[in-house]
């Protein structure tokens, strides 16, 4: 039997720990896997693009486990009452090839994206950063808010979305969370106003286009930019001139993928970047100086889904009464007799019943 984690299971696991604690522990799991970067087989995700969205497969593996995620991104879905992003994933055993876990990853993708954002900022942002602008207040925004509050000590959140109802939704959800009782929430009328006074700027918009969310006049020395929404070819959030600003340092997850999908798709192939794994492992410095501008060009990498699946599998195996399994793989008395142990056995049972 294969362990199964559905939407209700993830909701239970997160609720039992608390959202902030879950995000903090997930960030720690992701960081531990980035520290052993060289142990992983890595590749850019396989994508099927259309005019309305993208469907992707994201694999990663080490010497003992293999994982993949199926994920889509369809920004126009919300107009049809559907989610923009849905996902599921598999964790498998390298030695036997058997799947160990089939899991939902729609909620978990939002969790791991927020955990990765906050983890990167812990390494790259100024340690005294307490004010964050959050531009794009859709389905990812609550997770980003809680992660940055818990992991980075953000105490003021400046919100902006082109849809005021999205900001109202986000503020209502955040104010209902007891763990955010000390968080000041400020709703702004423009992206520029949101950036004013911010130490960290997170952009997490959904439109599949080369948008201009941030321009150089919005950015000041010492800022950390967390660009999340630009995550496929033809989808960006930063004006190209931001990438040429003096003192800008750009950090990525996996350079071959980010050069295709991230903000840096707007730049030549030799545009200088630092992979986050090199920072975590002490091979490359993080922020050069207090006045540097750091950019985490986040597109989402399969290693983070590997970490999330591994972490979820650990949590669900610790449970007894709540643990669920599915018969995804046949269990045979004779592994050489697939027919006799499945269809043949069913026919025999049917004849006996008749």
* Per-residue model confidence as pLDDT tens digits over 301-344: 999 999 999 999 999 998 878 889 999 999 999 999 999 999 99
Residue pair 324/277 in contact (Cβ under 8 Å)? The answer is no
pLDDT attached to residue 345? 84
Class of domain 2-107+304-338: alpha beta
Question: With 80 as the cut, is the pLDDT of residue 354 above it?
Answer: no
pTM comes to: 0.94
List the catalytic residues: 231
Q: How far is CA 350 from CA 114, 154, 184, 346, 347, in A?
A: 52, 64, 66, 6, 5
Chain region(s) in the chain for CATH 3.30.1780.10: 2-107+304-338
CA angle 268, 272, 273 (to 5 degrees): 115
Chain region(s) in the chain for CATH 3.40.50.720: 125-300
Contacts of 220 (CB under 8 A, 6+ apart): none
Which residue shows structure tokens 């818990």? 150
Sign of CA dihedral 341, 343, 346, 352: negative
User: In this structure, what token pair is assigned to residue 30?
Assistant: 């992701």
The predicted-structure confidence for 158-203, as pLDDT tens digits, reads as follows 999 999 999 999 999 999 999 999 999 999 999 999 999 999 999 9
Residue pair 156/131 in contact (Cβ under 8 Å)? The answer is yes
Q: What is the maximal distance between C-alpha atoms in the chain?
A: 81
DSSP secondary structure code for residue 232 in this structure: B
Helical pair 302-318 and 19-35, crossing angle rounded to 10 deg: 120
In angstroms, the CA 213 to CA 55 distance is: 24
Question: With 80 as the cut, is the pLDDT of residue 346 above it?
Answer: no
User: In this structure, what token pair is assigned to residue 11?
Assistant: 């909701």
Q: What percent of the chain has pLDDT over 70?
A: 97
In angstroms, the CA 342 to CA 353 distance is: 17
Give me the CATH topology for the region 125-300. Answer: Rossmann fold (3.40.50)
């Amino acid at each position: 039997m294969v362990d199964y984690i559905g939407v209700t299971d993830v909701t239970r696991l997160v609720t039992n720990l608390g959202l902030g604690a879950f995000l903090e522990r997930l960030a720690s799991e992701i960081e531990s896997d980035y520290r052993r970067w060289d142990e992983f087989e890595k590749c850019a995700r396989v994508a099927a693009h259309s005019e309305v969205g993208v469907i992707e497969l994201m694999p990663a593996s080490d010497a003992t486990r293999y994982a993949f995620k199926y994920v889509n991104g369809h920004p126009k879905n919300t107009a049809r009452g559907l989610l923009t992003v849905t996902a599921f994933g598999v964790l498998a055993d390298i030695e036997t090839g058997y799947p160990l876990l089939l899991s939902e990853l729609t909620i978990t993708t939002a969790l791991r994206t927020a955990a990765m954002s906050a983890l990167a900022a812990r390494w790259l942002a100024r340690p005294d950063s307490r004010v964050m602008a959050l531009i794009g207040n859709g389905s990812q925004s609550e997770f980003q808010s809680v992660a940055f509050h818990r992991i980075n000590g953000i105490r003021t959140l400046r919100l902006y979305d082109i849809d005021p109802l999205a900001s109202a939704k986000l503020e209502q959800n955040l104010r209902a969370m007891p763990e955010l009782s000390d968080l000041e929430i400020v709703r702004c009328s423009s992206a520029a106003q949101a950036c004013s006074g911010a130490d960290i700027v997170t952009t997490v918009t959904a439109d599949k286009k080369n948008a201009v969310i941030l321009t150089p006049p919005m950015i000041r020395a010492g800022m950390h930019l967390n660009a999340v929404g630009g995550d496929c070819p033809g989808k960006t959030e930063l004006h190209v001139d931001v990438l040429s600003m003096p003192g800008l340092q750009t950090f990525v997850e996996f350079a071959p993928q980010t050069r295709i999908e991230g903000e840096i798709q707007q730049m030549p192939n030799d545009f200088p970047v630092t992979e986050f794994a090199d920072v975590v492992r002490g091979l490359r410095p993080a922020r050069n100086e207090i006045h540097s501008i750091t950019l985490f060009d986040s597109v989402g990498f399969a290693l983070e889904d590997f970490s999330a699946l591994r972490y979820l599998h650990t949590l669900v195996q610790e449970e007894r009464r709540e643990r669920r399994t599915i018969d995804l793989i046949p269990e045979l008395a004779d592994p050489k007799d697939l027919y006799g142990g499945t269809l043949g056995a069913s026919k025999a049972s049917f004849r006996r019943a008749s």
